[in-house]
Amino acid sequence: AQTVTQSQPEMSVQEAETVTLSCTYDTSESDYYLFWYKQPPSRQMILVIRQEAYKQQNATENRFSVNFQKAAKSFSLKISDSQLGDAAMYFCAYRSSNFGNEKLTFGTGTRLTIIP
Amino acid sequence: NAGVTQTPKFRVLKTGQSMTLLCAQDMNHEYMYWYRQDPGMGLRLIHYSVGEGTTAKGEVPDGYNVSRLKKQNFLLGLESAAPSQTSVYFCASSQPAGLISSGNTIYFGEGSWLTVV
């Protein structure tokens, strides 16, 4: 079974600065998908960014980018120019591409605080 | 444009009572999931379904049952509620991961807060 580990329960960053959230995972599969989800106090699950394992290029969405290291099984999220609205829980998630086993497995989350 | 809808959003149950959470999606998705979220635990998969009439156990299935009689609905049942089932429950839906046109996106409902006293 796949596991996802987020070793930073809490992080804080000054507004306008850059912060990196860590995520590692364990799998024996070669093809899979990785995600970062944001969960604000409303508890809504918002997709931030996704990465296909077969793609070597790191995904980027505006101020959000990832550092995907397949051999190291590492998938970190970098948030540039942090804004107050970025304050939330961030979850890293893994999705297998094997038919019938394509459920999302989540890490335990990192609570990000933005300091004005 | 409803997406994934969960009902009810809030419920208080007494120990031993039963209830059903309903999840409905209007995107014609094949896959549907039920997760629970507890402090410090992230989201853990309870049960899931890869198509109408199918169900499978996830990571924490004990004390729950599910049914998927219609493609658009996925029901989560608690037969005899226990305080340990106090949690926030999320339903989600998606197409198969290999379906390029789906963008590999998993859509979540807004959550259902359940308290068992």
Averaged pLDDT in 10-residue chunks for chain A of 116 residues:
93 97 95 94 93 90 96 97 97 87 90 97
pLDDT(B102) > 70: no
Nearest CB to A99: which of B40, B96, B105? B96
Nearest CB to A103: which of B33, B108, B110? B33
Banded model confidence at residue B101, pLDDT cuts 50, 70, 90: low
What residues of A are in contact with residue B35 (Cβ under 8 Å)?
106
- In single-letter form, the type of residue at position B15 comes to T
In a mutational test of the B interface, the residue from A45, A89, A94 whose CB has the highest number of chain B CBs within 10 Å is A45
3-state secondary structure (DSSP) of residue B59 = coil
Residues B82-99 have a mean pLDDT of 90
Banded model confidence at residue B113, pLDDT cuts 50, 70, 90: very high
How many angstroms separate the CA atoms of B46 and B59, rounded? Answer: 6
Q: Which two structure tokens, joined as six digits, stand for B34?
A: 């039920």
The answer to whether B55 touches B67, Cβ cutoff 8 Å, is yes
From the centroid of its chain, how far is CA B95? 16
Number of H helices, E strands in chain B: 0, 11
Question: Residue A55: which residues within 8 A CB-CB, separation 6 or more?
Answer: none
